[in-house]
Structure 1
């Protein structure tokens, strides 16, 4: 039997330019989340901590970052295995070749070769696939096909993108979907994708230990993996490790900015620790003339409420702009012109007449359809 804690993509030394004014807070949170990974490993009494690549953001991180990471890893009661990924590839100038890294304790091992590495006091081995460059078109797990004859629980450790249509690039170290089966693995621990993703019972991405940017669904986690014997189905348990909350609130300004802002205000009020939250307001739909001033006031309100970071990304379209475009198109389209004429005529009265609210909604829908085509 073996139990490991699988994590990846710490990217320590992250520049965080997308949230530049709180970049230092974001970097500190990544270190805190790393400590959360090790604390979870110690609580779970794992046999090993397996870090599947990109522990560092790049190979030119400052030595103080290296020392900080070593200090966190030194707290692990179990052996720690670190795979070089594409951000911290095993190049001649790799961080793993530095004097600062060489000061690490003996129980922290870099998986810098392709030979099987036994996990002490277990009947399990790690089959590593370290990366030696930033980009590559070769499947890093391809060499495992020749790794036969191991009568042990086999855990592969690799960094790259599963070859899923639309989710990988040709130079992103594409990994065969059947890599685990092909190599006879009991579990394949992957890194590179920041959202936790379990592909099948034997192949999974742990996800980044801390969210890197807005929209990273499934990040801020690790995976506790337990294998009872060779051939047994792994038991996977997600473990929360994230330190900050990254929240996106969608506002459809076609519904009116005031009710949408009120709804957003209620969602923000539910944040347990606003001082540890980064908030993105994303607007869509058609906006009124006073929407900008209303959103500006809401931003100031949020910034004064103690949130760590607030930004508003506007993808709404001013209603006046949509109406103007609609009128332009009507001049060259008999169909649009006819529809507009019908909607602009005075509303009929009596039984069977179309209520004015319905006519208004129809005009708005027509504007939306035209704007969608215009985009």
Structure 2
């Protein structure tokens, strides 16, 4: 008889989307879509007649959660009746004193791991699930260090943690481990959370899986978003990825180096997006290259004229003025010192401030050349 586990993670209910530049209404709609993802996952568990459900952490946002969210989750898990649900709190939903996990009256089928040390939970006579809780948002424990399962049963690891052999760019690491530690510890499979782009490792014969967030949560989060169905039949363990996403995330770069007027820039932005459109598509367009000195650079105009048939488009400016900056910064002159200072400011600035420093660099170099400056307004 096959023992079936439906695994998902990283729903991030009540997320703010503050870093994505969403209008308030778009952020609200997207947050609601994450509740829809939970409902679809419960539907999937019932359709597949799974033996249990596992949640790999970051189910919600501790800093923003509402009682309504807790009651919603309890209601959804109740739909599964006697099907067990196992949850490991992660770094965004840690098991702190005011955690939703401690405030809500959960149905009897829900088990929440309580300690920052791996604990076993027998699923049947042959299969054992191991999990732990992140006790704080900043916990950096190493759960697999000096650990080994005690017997020859099939041991499954449920962990919110970071595969240090393949860390996504910019991702903060928590509960770090290496894939070989999973094997060395005696686990047959690891059901994971923390990385939002799903992947099974290794591809041919996987022994660990990130299901990905059920929906993309940031620009550039392409790839698998959904769940993993793990089937244990006798001594055989097989994993099957399942997509649940209803939104798409795309990222495009537009090089403006050869463009000499702002209408040409706008046209090139529109061309980059023309085959990507959709009411459920999030797009990030990054402008790169060097701006021609004749172009009146008007980000407000570009934003106003973006295609309308997207859920949201975030336009990012990483261009630099078309001056020989590498040569200029070597000058032992006031202009050279000015360029060195502004390039350093741009490197260190937040995203909101980069544009200010880039404009200062452009206008300053124009001033050194006594060239007329046109403000955007």
TM category, shorter: 0.7 to 0.9
State the match for 2:3 in structure 1.
2
Which of residues 144, 156, 165 in structure 2 aligns to 1:141? 144
- Contact kept in structure 2, 1:194 and 1:218, CA below 8 Å: no
Q: Distance in 1 between matches of 2:305 and 2:89?
A: 44
Contact preservation (8 Å) 2:94, 2:136: yes
CA offsets 1:144-164 (integer angstroms, 9 cap, x no match): 42x31253x221111111233
2:113 to 111, 114, 120: 111
Decide whether aligned partners of structure 1 residues 229 and 186 sit closer, same or farther in structure 2, where only a CA change above 3 A counts. farther
Rate the CA distance shift 1:330–1:107 in 2: closer, same or farther, 3 A. Answer: closer
The answer to whether 1:161 aligns with 2:176 is no
Q: Distance in 2 between matches of 1:329 and 1:272?
A: 42
Higher gyration radius (CA) = 1
Change (3 A) 1:269 1:62: same
Q: Is the 8 A contact 1:210 1:219 kept in 2?
A: no
Deviation at 1:264, TM superposition (A): 4.7
**Greater helix fraction, Structure 1 or Structure 2:** 1
Alignment partners' CA distance in 1, 2:22 and 2:176: 32
Deviations 1:48-79 (A, max 9, x none): 22111111211662101111222333334643
Task: Give the whole-Å Cα distance in 2 for the aligned partners of 1:210 and 1:198.
Answer: 17
Q: Say yes or no: does 1:61 pair with 2:65.
A: yes
What does residue range 179-258 of structure 1 map to in structure 2 within 5 Å? Answer: 179-200=181-202, 201-218=206-223, 220-230=225-235, 232=236, 234-256=237-259
**Partner in structure 2 of residue 51 of structure 1:** 55
Distance 1:196 1:165 in 2: 12
Q: Deviations over 1:288-307 (max 9, x none)?
A: 333735x655532335x242
Q: 1:303-327, CA deviations, whole angstroms, 9 ceiling, x for partnerless residues?
A: 5x242222210111232xx25x477
Matches within 5 A, 1:320-359: 322-323=323-324, 325=325, 328=328
1:316 corresponds to which of 298, 319, 322 = 319
Q: Is it true that 1:85 corresponds to 2:90 in the alignment?
A: yes
1:16 and 2:17 correspond: yes
Cα distance per residue 1:123-144 (max 9 Å; x no partner): 4221112222222343123474
Alpha-carbon distance between aligned partners in 2 of 1:299 and 1:312, rounded to the nearest angstrom: 7
Mapped partners of 2:77, 2:271: distance in 1: 40
8 Å CA contact 1:164, 1:177 repeated in 2: yes
When the two chains are superposed, the root-mean-square deviation of aligned CA atoms in Å is: 3.1
TM-score (norm 1): 0.74
* In structure 1, C-alpha distance between the alignment counterparts of 2:318 and 2:175, rounded to whole Å: 34
1:263 shift after superposition = 5.8
Is the Cα–Cα contact under 8 Å of residues 136 and 171 in structure 1 kept in the other structure?
A: no
- Which residue pairs with 1:32 in the alignment? 36
Could you tell me whether the CA contact under 8 Å between 1:129 and 1:141 is conserved in 2? no
* Secondary structure at the counterpart of residue 224 of structure 1: strand
Whether the 8 Å CA contact 2:12–2:58 is kept in 1: the answer is yes
Distance apart, 1:244 and its partner CA: 2.4
User: Paired residue for 1:345?
Assistant: none
Structure 1 range deviating more: 70-79 or 253-262 = 253-262
Once the two structures are superposed, what CA deviation does each residue of 1:335-371 show, in whole Å capped at 9, x if it has no partner? Answer: xxxxxxxxxxxxxxxxxxxxxxxxxxxxxxxxxxxxx
Tell me, in whole angstroms, the C-alpha distance in 2 between the residues paired with 1:260 and 1:56: 40
1:178-208 Cα offsets, whole Å, 9 max, x none, are: 2321222111111111121323321222221
Q: Structure 1 residue 28: deviation in Å?
A: 1.0
Unaligned runs of 5+ in 2: 333-377
TM-score, normalised by the number of residues in structure 2: 0.73
